Amino acid sequence: MNPGVLERIDTLIPEIEPDMIADRRDFHRFAEAGWTEFRTASRIARRLKTLGYDVSTGRSVCRDETRMGLPSPEEIETHWQRAHAEDGDPEFLESMHGGFTGVVGRLRNGVGPTLGLRFDIDALGVSESAESSHRPVSEGFASIHPGVMHACGHDGHAATGLGLARLFSEMRDMISGTLVLVFQPAEEGVRGARSMVEAGVLDGVDFMIGHHLMTGVATGEIIPGMGGYAATRKLDVEILGAPAHAGGSPEAGRNALLAAATAVLNLHALPRHRDGFTRINVGQIHAGTGRNVIPDRARLVAEVRGETSALCDSMYERAIRVIEAAATMHGCDSTVRPMGAAGTAESSPELVSRVVSIAESLGESVLEPLTKIGGSEDFTEMMLRIQQQGGQAVNIGIGADRSGIRQGDADRSAILGAHTSVYDFDEQALRHAMRLLSLLAVDLLDDPSGTPSG
Amino acid sequence: MNPGVLERIDTLIPEIEPDMIADRRDFHRFAEAGWTEFRTASRIARRLKTLGYDVSTGRSVCRDETRMGLPSPEEIETHWQRAHAEDGDPEFLESMHGGFTGVVGRLRNGVGPTLGLRFDIDALGVSESAESSHRPVSEGFASIHPGVMHACGHDGHAATGLGLARLFSEMRDMISGTLVLVFQPAEEGVRGARSMVEAGVLDGVDFMIGHHLMTGVATGEIIPGMGGYAATRKLDVEILGAPAHAGGSPEAGRNALLAAATAVLNLHALPRHRDGFTRINVGQIHAGTGRNVIPDRARLVAEVRGETSALCDSMYERAIRVIEAAATMHGCDSTVRPMGAAGTAESSPELVSRVVSIAESLGESVLEPLTKIGGSEDFTEMMLRIQQQGGQAVNIGIGADRSGIRQGDADRSAILGAHTSVYDFDEQALRHAMRLLSLLAVDLLDDPSGTPSG
Amino acid sequence: MNPGVLERIDTLIPEIEPDMIADRRDFHRFAEAGWTEFRTASRIARRLKTLGYDVSTGRSVCRDETRMGLPSPEEIETHWQRAHAEDGDPEFLESMHGGFTGVVGRLRNGVGPTLGLRFDIDALGVSESAESSHRPVSEGFASIHPGVMHACGHDGHAATGLGLARLFSEMRDMISGTLVLVFQPAEEGVRGARSMVEAGVLDGVDFMIGHHLMTGVATGEIIPGMGGYAATRKLDVEILGAPAHAGGSPEAGRNALLAAATAVLNLHALPRHRDGFTRINVGQIHAGTGRNVIPDRARLVAEVRGETSALCDSMYERAIRVIEAAATMHGCDSTVRPMGAAGTAESSPELVSRVVSIAESLGESVLEPLTKIGGSEDFTEMMLRIQQQGGQAVNIGIGADRSGIRQGDADRSAILGAHTSVYDFDEQALRHAMRLLSLLAVDLLDDPSGTPSG
Amino acid sequence: MNPGVLERIDTLIPEIEPDMIADRRDFHRFAEAGWTEFRTASRIARRLKTLGYDVSTGRSVCRDETRMGLPSPEEIETHWQRAHAEDGDPEFLESMHGGFTGVVGRLRNGVGPTLGLRFDIDALGVSESAESSHRPVSEGFASIHPGVMHACGHDGHAATGLGLARLFSEMRDMISGTLVLVFQPAEEGVRGARSMVEAGVLDGVDFMIGHHLMTGVATGEIIPGMGGYAATRKLDVEILGAPAHAGGSPEAGRNALLAAATAVLNLHALPRHRDGFTRINVGQIHAGTGRNVIPDRARLVAEVRGETSALCDSMYERAIRVIEAAATMHGCDSTVRPMGAAGTAESSPELVSRVVSIAESLGESVLEPLTKIGGSEDFTEMMLRIQQQGGQAVNIGIGADRSGIRQGDADRSAILGAHTSVYDFDEQALRHAMRLLSLLAVDLLDDPSGTPSG
């Protein structure tokens, strides 16, 4: 690799960093949950366009039928209006109407491989702490949206994405190949990745890089690859029967609650599997409105998991069969809505090795790869697609702990983000992320198959 | 009515009675359960033929597809062989091969209406008492067939049928019209009537008379009409899945036991009904053969009942839906075999009045009609068919108690027969039955619409 | 009876009627649901006191432990505050704090029997129609409380109670004995009667009279007695387990939803009963809050009914056993809160005859008594108590239909009140009620055992 | 070790081998299932006594309360009588009356450690093939007991035990220490080991050796240690309710079948576990005898398994809770009978190394130890007890395949024995077993802590 690359990166970063932190705080302040990231996404799109990227948004990057776990149309509409009022970009908002909040920026720069980077942009349904000890409060960037908060660091991911966009733009002369920056909505609940994959945004991509800020890992430490995510599929079930006066004409009803109770028991009774662990949970049930009325409607909120995608899919199919039969049993109809899905995936070993070399060359402290995450992450959907088309993918953990209470090893809650009202990360980590990801990207484009320059 | 009729009857009965009692004891000794009454039926057929009746047997009087609750083919074959060894009539046995054990004898005697009489002929799966205090033992006619016993008086019904056959044959000159004597198999479990009805044996019948010996009612007392039977449908269910090693590969099984358990709970949870009482019971379940094997086969023995046929049918249909869905839920197949069915029916009021008059004219003590039997009896299938085709039907209770312990009112267990190993009835009752039924029959043929001669 | 009594009644009624209608409209306008009738009850109490009645309120007339189906303490408090703002009577409000909204007024007048009259005062959780065709709207007395409406005529009952209170007060010279006017809260949901009975308000009462305005029955028509109410017991169930991460540590949870689903199936599977109809319904279930969390809390809203109190109680006890065992099965705790209860009861025949005579003497058109109501009404709790202590009780239907669409016979929905947003009754019926009830009361006190003066 | 030991062994084996094979064939011919091994056990005891062993039998070696999965007392009695007729030893049969079919022989020989060897002696409930291609048929030693067959090689184990007994007896001069030969009944179903452990037969034992003939492993190959057995607990459940006429008085019943169905569903719905795999299976259910009778009795045959004993025990406790609550729910009683139990256990590594050295010194082909058996074996109960008291235990696999179809690695079915009607093993393996086990035993007694002489 051209030895001037790192020098250039290190020159540019100090210029970019303040904006990157400002972006992070702006996104944090205007936190937007999955499929309603209108302000965030439209402003990202505008910025990419300004930087000279070829920008795609809306239905061209989010395939409608595979968006999962959408809020109600009314809710989406409300947030779209809100985004206008909060200085979302009007031009791009137009394309996002209806909740198509993904953004892809492409920078084509001569011949060479194609490298993608993914940044998730959504916040969580968490009410941010109002305590003055919580830094976003004391420094004035706490969420102004009640009940919505960036409690998993995606504000930082999005800001890093914009920082890298600018950096790559200024380093065009040193890059040969194509960069694809993928800003993904609705990672929480593993709802958004599939719709971008299905829209074809990864077609032709050779290398795909994801990263996640890790609050359980010290700034300056790097996990060079993560895998072993549990596969998961989330489903909402609606069972629809017919009401009847329970005292007067019980036989006239079609009892959605009996169907639901039967489904619940039998879902939990699905057999364990020889090939590895499986999980099933009905997390919620809500049925009926009266006391003396046969319930005509029941709603289940459920999830299956598996040690592998095959196990998870097998459980899912059995679950569907149980639900449909339980409804039929009581003369009811059932509808199953997929609310999220992520397979299991592994970081490509060659790419992990490459990350190790690059990180070491930057003086980062490199930890062991994580191979048994157990939790879920929908970047796996992108990793799998890339690997299926012959490419390589990696998900990198970037230490970002500001708690002072370092944990010996990065535990699950750290990986997933605390999802708590006092979550915060060390903004210094953004610089580490940008430095590692940019050098890795340029290096891969420069020498796709080779060993990294040490 | 010809005043000489009763005189003639009273002349003939003393001649016939000893044979009738001998027949009863013969049938009792060679007790045969439903669909295996080969010896009984073939000997009845032979006798009817000898008496000049036009005799139909076999498939022409038992429609194959509607025979319910059949024993296994092997069992039927064994009993057919046995009947040969026990002096069944070879000619008629031939026609009954495979378990077609109904017999119909027709006596056509000039113009006039058609009157049917039904006699059920089957025994029960009860082991007869060997106590010397039990009269069939002390008098030498206890069942020689282990585990099979006439514990509900059908031996008496069949013998009365033969007695009447002879009586009518000798009174031909006094009869104008057609007599149809229907000897029905498999009344226990309400399995046989429908197949005779569906074979058309009641076509063209204007009046239909059934009777039952009542051990809770004193000899000499008559219940002139019975109705309000509960409708019932009996079903055997087979659920077929796939076995698997429960420890090694539980997911490879299709668990027939889980399907069955789900069916059981949901069958019992079927809603009650505005229009009257309903019942459902799963009386037996048998599933699985090992401990560590997913059960691949489950069998349920069940029954539904209803205050009316409509209620019963509605429960039955819902039960089928539950069973099929429960099987589907666990990837299993299900087969439902109808094992018995009887509707509810009422004795025709005009005919009840007629019975009252005739019985009073004979000096019988006439009790109130019974209108809320609650139990089941498949003569209702015949009553309904007759009433649907515009005729009249009645089921008459004939007091036959020899217990000395008279019950104030005929309770249910008396009506159904005690079904116990010490059941016995007063043979004197046969004479009362013959006298009443013959006079009623001749009177109805003579004056189908009129008031009975007092 | 003193022949001047009716004359006096007919002189007083025209004076009282306008106030009675004004009261009815005032109560309608300030509709208050069960256990929050603070304004209604406190103003009734004030009026009774002004009229010279001995007034009891608060805990002395509503026994705390047997109040059923209470709103939350916060809700009760809010309504208590509201009643202050809406001109509730401050003195009596004080005694009612916490939701003790019954009122009893006693008028002792020399020696003689004690006669009680019961008036229920609560409204329903129904949003009143805003259509101008709805008379309360066009005439300006529609409910000003959103979601609460007098849709079952209890405003009329309460107003009739006040009208009678004044009438009896002015007729003291013609009365010998004691009158007890019972204004009962929370009849809807059959929640209030028992707490007044248990507080002893019926102690020493010889005759007890209830009445209900009937919108399916024409004004001027009287149903002289009603009975055959279905017995009912309402229950809310809370099942409390322990949450756990469903993917990570499913075994750590105690699954309240599995317990609830098991309870639901087995409650519906409770056996039918020989002695008459029974009903059970789980009308609502709500459990869980997350998707991937073992639900630690489930709530069921259920009801049992029976053709008799014994059947209902038997079902209730079995239901409790099922619920407790289902909770135990999954290591959970369960709490059952009784939310309402009413037995079955019959109007005393002697009293019904008395009502017939009185009504006929007044020129009312007297219909047949209703003996198979099927629905529930908690006046039965009072009827039973009175009959147990040797007295007589009757519930009278007062025709009040203004629909023009007369139904041939009073059907159930008419008896129960339409419970719809456009419910209304004919205010002329109040006069009929006052006339009948007052003459009946004076007559009974005058000649408790005799035949009415005709 | 005294170099003459192996020489002596190799001199003695050819003398002993023919008797050993004769014993094996005798045991095979008179195959006896668990707790009915009267003939086998009494003849073993006699032989040990003759060889000079100190023999214990009956209740002193099988603790009554911890015998699991016993046949009925009648069945046990029948087999005891049979054993008399088949030349069982009368003296020892006396002590075994009631099904106490364990035998322990002790050979004390001066100071030194105590070493135990365990031989299981029971056959399976399998009908032996009658095909002439099946060697036991063609060579005339097929089982003469219908439905009982040595289909898992325990006949070979027992014969090896007797062979070793003679060998040790003849080598007394070369042994210093105590040998304890444990002949265990009822290994199939993991029912017998615990009762011997609880009777104290392993008290003071320092080394414990088990072995199993492996039909999937070639003769001459040795698996030097086996572990990772799944823990298992087997249970039979009896639920006792009360019968009732399902049509007439359904409410009078206490429905054991509803209780059982509820238990089945909830047993299968028990949560999966974070710490490893768990299994639960209800393999059989049998309930009810009639169609129209509420079933008063239900029987479940079930089993739980776990990757560790702790997981298994946790599942078992939860299962008991489910069963008891399901019975209580329907007013029934429940009884749980433990029918078998085995923990998980590992072969002691030091002892595995010792086996490796000895086996290699004998020219055996030594395979890898098996650490993930997955199936169950109740020798684990003995291994655990020995390890708890500070000793070492090992279970050794002895190649005995005569199928010609060598499997690359010993799979589970091979370890467990095929349990099929055509099972057979290579009798040459008995010599390998005797040679290995005897040298190992003498070596351990000689040098309990040291490295084996190579």
For residue A273, which phi and psi values (nearest 5 degrees)?
-130, 135
Q: What is the rounded average pLDDT of the residues D436-454?
A: 82
Q: What is the rounded average pLDDT of the residues A439-444?
A: 96
B71 contacts chain D (CB < 8 A): no
State how far residue B265 is from chain C, nearest Cα, in angstroms. Answer: 7
Residue C309 has pLDDT above 50, yes or no: yes
D279 contacts chain A (CB < 8 A): yes
Rounded Cα–Cα distance for residues C152 and C416 (Å) = 7
User: Does the CA dihedral A8-A13-A14-A15 come out positive or negative?
Assistant: positive
Q: Could you give the percent of chain A with pLDDT greater than 90? A: 86
C329 contacts chain B (CB < 8 A): no
Q: What is the rounded average pLDDT of the residues D93-109?
A: 97
Q: What is the rounded average pLDDT of the residues C189-212?
A: 97
Residue C160 is given by DSSP the state: H
Rounded Cα–Cα distance for residues A423 and A150 (Å) = 8
Comparing CA positions, the residue from A412, A383, A409 lying closest to residue A395 is A383
Q: What is the rounded average pLDDT of the residues B210-236?
A: 93
Task: Return all residues near D193 (Cβ < 8 A) that are at least 6 apart.
Answer: D184, D187, D342, D378, D379, D380, D381, D382
- What pLDDT digit, counting tens, does each position of A252-295 carry? 999 999 999 999 999 999 999 999 999 999 999 999 989 989 99
A272, A277, A279, best to mutate vs chain D, most D CBs in 10 Å = A272
Q: What H or E segment, with its residue span, contains residue C285?
A: strand C278-287
CA distances from D11 to D14, D15, D171 (A): 7, 8, 11
Question: Nearest 5 degrees, angle CA B384-CA B385-CA B391?
Answer: 90
Which residues on chain A are in Cβ contact (under 8 Å) with D412?
A: none
Tokens found for residue A419: 């999802």
- What pLDDT digit, counting tens, does each position of A118-168 carry? 999 999 998 999 999 999 999 999 999 999 999 999 999 999 999 999 999
Residue D274 has pLDDT above 50, yes or no: yes
B402 band by pLDDT with thresholds 50, 70 and 90: confident
Could you report the predicted ipTM of this complex, rounded to two decimals? Answer: 0.85
Q: Do C326 and D321 touch (CB under 8 A)?
A: no
Tell me the β-bridge partners of A120.
A184
> C286 in helix, strand or coil?
strand
Contact D232, D304 (CB under 8 A): yes
Q: What H or E segment, with its residue span, contains residue D117?
A: strand D114-120
Q: What H or E segment, with its residue span, contains residue D183?
A: strand D177-184
Rounded Cα–Cα distance for residues A262 and A325 (Å) = 9
Contact B291, B364 (CB under 8 A): no
CA distances from C27 to B240, C92, C93, C121, C168 (A): 65, 17, 16, 9, 21
D272 contacts chain B (CB < 8 A): no
Rounded Cα–Cα distance for residues A187 and A121 (Å) = 8
- What pLDDT digit, counting tens, does each position of A66-107 carry? 999 999 999 999 999 999 999 999 999 999 999 999 999 999
What local confidence, expressed as pLDDT, does residue A327 receive? 98
A257, A305, A315, A336, best to mutate vs chain C, most C CBs in 10 Å = A257
State how far residue B275 is from chain A, nearest Cα, in angstroms. Answer: 8
- What pLDDT digit, counting tens, does each position of A370-405 carry? 988 778 899 999 999 999 999 999 999 999 987 644
> B412 in helix, strand or coil?
helix
Q: What is the rounded average pLDDT of the residues A358-368?
A: 95
What local confidence, expressed as pLDDT, does residue B403 receive? 63
Which residues on chain D are in Cβ contact (under 8 Å) with C330?
A: 266
Q: Do D260 and B302 touch (CB under 8 A)?
A: no
State how far residue C221 is from chain B, nearest Cα, in angstroms. Answer: 29
User: Does the CA dihedral D183-D184-D186-D190 come out positive or negative?
Assistant: negative
D288 contacts chain B (CB < 8 A): yes
What local confidence, expressed as pLDDT, does residue C286 receive? 97
Q: Do D269 and A272 touch (CB under 8 A)?
A: no
Q: Do D285 and B260 touch (CB under 8 A)?
A: yes
Residue A359 has pLDDT above 60, yes or no: yes
- What pLDDT digit, counting tens, does each position of C382-416 carry? 999 999 999 999 999 999 987 644 444 444 343 34
The sheet carrying C392-401 orders its strands as C54-57, C103-109, C177-184, C114-120, C207-218, C392-401, C221-223, C365-366
B22 contacts chain A (CB < 8 A): no
Q: Do B281 and D261 touch (CB under 8 A)?
A: no
C420 band by pLDDT with thresholds 50, 70 and 90: confident
Which stretch of B300-304, C130-134, C279-283, D190-194 has the lowest confidence by average pLDDT? Answer: C130-134
Task: Return all residues near C184 (Cβ < 8 A) that are at least 6 apart.
Answer: C102, C118, C119, C120, C121, C192, C193, C196
Which residues on chain D are in Cβ contact (under 8 Å) with A269?
A: 265, 268-269
State how far residue B263 is from chain C, nearest Cα, in angstroms. Answer: 11
Strands (E), B265-356: 278-287, 297-306, 333-342
Q: Do B279 and D247 touch (CB under 8 A)?
A: yes
B274 contacts chain A (CB < 8 A): yes
D258, D266, D268, D411, best to mutate vs chain A, most A CBs in 10 Å = D268
Crossing angle of the two packed helices D309-329 and D256-268, in degrees rounded to 10: 150
Residue B420 has pLDDT above 90, yes or no: no
Rg (CA), chain D: 23
Task: Return all residues near A326 (Cβ < 8 A) that are at least 6 apart.
Answer: A239, A259, A260, A262, A263, A266, A334, B325, B329
Tokens found for residue B144: 């020689």
Contact C222, C211 (CB under 8 A): no
Closest by Cβ to A271, choosing from B251, B271, B314: B251
Please compute, for residue A299, the number of CA atoms within 13 A of its CA located in the half-sphere on the CB side: 12
Residue B213 has pLDDT above 80, yes or no: yes
D372 band by pLDDT with thresholds 50, 70 and 90: confident
Q: What is the rounded average pLDDT of the residues B396-418?
A: 58
Tokens found for residue B369: 């009609």
A261 contacts chain D (CB < 8 A): no
Q: What is the rounded average pLDDT of the residues C82-105?
A: 97
Residue A328 has pLDDT above 90, yes or no: yes
What local confidence, expressed as pLDDT, does residue C376 receive? 86
Residue C454 has pLDDT above 50, yes or no: no
Closest by Cβ to B281, choosing from D246, D284, D303: D246
Q: Could you give the percent of chain C with pLDDT greater than 90? A: 87
Strands (E), D245-401: 278-287, 297-306, 333-342, 365-366, 392-401
What local confidence, expressed as pLDDT, does residue C247 receive? 87
Mean of pLDDT over chain B: 93
pTM, entire model: 0.88
Q: Which residue of B has its CA nearest to D374?
A: B248
Rounded Cα–Cα distance for residues C3 and C315 (Å) = 52
Rounded Cα–Cα distance for residues D422 and A254 (Å) = 54
What local confidence, expressed as pLDDT, does residue C374 receive? 74
C373 band by pLDDT with thresholds 50, 70 and 90: confident
Please compute, for residue D299, the number of CA atoms within 13 A of its CA located in the half-sphere on the CB side: 12
What local confidence, expressed as pLDDT, does residue B421 receive? 86
Rounded Cα–Cα distance for residues B8 and B17 (Å) = 14
CA distances from D47 to B206, C157, D105 (A): 87, 99, 10
Q: What is the rounded average pLDDT of the residues D276-293?
A: 94
State how far residue A271 is from chain D, nearest Cα, in angstroms. Answer: 8
Strands (E), D62-113: 103-109
Rounded Cα–Cα distance for residues D304 and D311 (Å) = 9
Which stretch of C3-12, C28-37, C38-47 has the lowest confidence by average pLDDT? Answer: C3-12
CA distances from A262 to A15, A133, A300, B262, C247 (A): 62, 48, 12, 7, 22
Rounded Cα–Cα distance for residues D428 and D407 (Å) = 18
Q: What is the rounded average pLDDT of the residues B399-413?
A: 55
Q: Do A247 and C291 touch (CB under 8 A)?
A: no
State how far residue A91 is from chain D, nearest Cα, in angstroms. Answer: 50
Please compute, for residue B234, the number of CA atoms within 13 A of its CA located in the half-sphere on the CB side: 26
Residue D418 has pLDDT above 70, yes or no: no
User: Per residue in D8-26, is it b (16+ CB within 10 Å) or e — as a string?
Assistant: bbeebbeebbeebbebbbb
- What pLDDT digit, counting tens, does each position of B243-268 carry? 998 988 999 999 999 999 999 999 99
Rounded Cα–Cα distance for residues B393 and B386 (Å) = 7
Q: Do D272 and A271 touch (CB under 8 A)?
A: no
Tokens found for residue B213: 């010996």
Which residues on chain C are in Cβ contact (under 8 Å) with B268?
A: 268-269, 271
- What pLDDT digit, counting tens, does each position of B307-354 carry? 999 999 999 999 999 999 999 999 999 999 999 999 999 999 999 999
Q: What is the rounded average pLDDT of the residues C159-172?
A: 97
What local confidence, expressed as pLDDT, does residue C403 receive? 62
Q: What H or E segment, with its residue span, contains residue C156?
A: helix C154-170
